[in-house]
Amino acid sequence: MIDPIATVIIYLTTTPELVALEGRIAAKHKFGMTSDAGVTTDDRWTLGQQALRIQPAGGEADIATPRATLDLTATCYGGSQQEAMAVALQLTAACRRAGRTMVVTNVGTALMYYVLVSSAPMFGFEPVGEANGSDMVTLTLRTAIAECPVRD
């Protein structure tokens, strides 16, 4: 079966709008992580860097067709609110460009029907460590992805 969250992350890492975030689009942020957490020095995210985290936020079961229809929380990070909002705007542009798209994953080629922004941006601050943190903008995404690979 296709992992819908991995499919969205892979799609976003290949879009021209978000290619500058190379290595900083993931299901879990890597700010303030140490090698004890299994993160190498090259994989760590530095506070103030622009980054994007995609996490599941619910959805609906589609009992009529074999597809996953999910809500996702997209958390856009930056060194300031403006930088975090710039990531959110780039994400919005990438989602608007996405139509029915094939995405190559490690278990086969996924068919992503759509990924859409379904909320207004919400500003916040995520503390990391005792005195540090990162500005963030949160958006809700909605996606539908076929559960079975379309090609192997």
pLDDT 10s digits, 89-131? 999 999 998 889 999 999 999 999 999 999 999 998 877 665 5
Q: Given pLDDT bands bounded at 50, 70 and 90, which one contains residue 23?
A: confident
CA-nearest of 110, 99, 114, 98 to 150 is 110
Residues 1 and 148: beta-carbon distance below 8 Å: yes
Q: Which of 59, 66, 54, 62 is nearest to 21 (CA)?
A: 54
Predicted local distance difference test score (pLDDT) of residue 55: 92
Give the pLDDT score at 99.
Answer: 84
Q: By CB neighbour count within 10 A (0-12 exposed, 13-18 middle, 19+ buried), where does 63 fall?
A: exposed
- Predicted pLDDT at 130: 57
Q: Kindly state the helix (H) or strand (E) to which residue 24 belongs, with its residue range.
A: none
What is the C-alpha to C-alpha distance for residues 115 and 56, in angstroms, rounded to an integer?
Answer: 13
Q: What is the pLDDT of residue 129?
A: 61
Q: What percent of the chain has pLDDT over 90?
A: 47
Q: Name the most confidently modeled range: 44-58, 76-90, 123-137.
A: 76-90
Are 72 and 54 within 8 A, CB to CB?
A: yes
Q: Dihedrals φ, ψ of 3, to 5°?
A: -85, 110
Contact yes or no for 52/25 (Cβ under 8 A):
yes
CB 68 within 8 A of CB 57: no
- Considering the entire predicted model, what is its pTM? 0.83
The band of 61, judged by pLDDT with boundaries at 50, 70 and 90, is confident
Hey, what amino acid is at 116?
A: L
pLDDT the model gives residue 59? 85
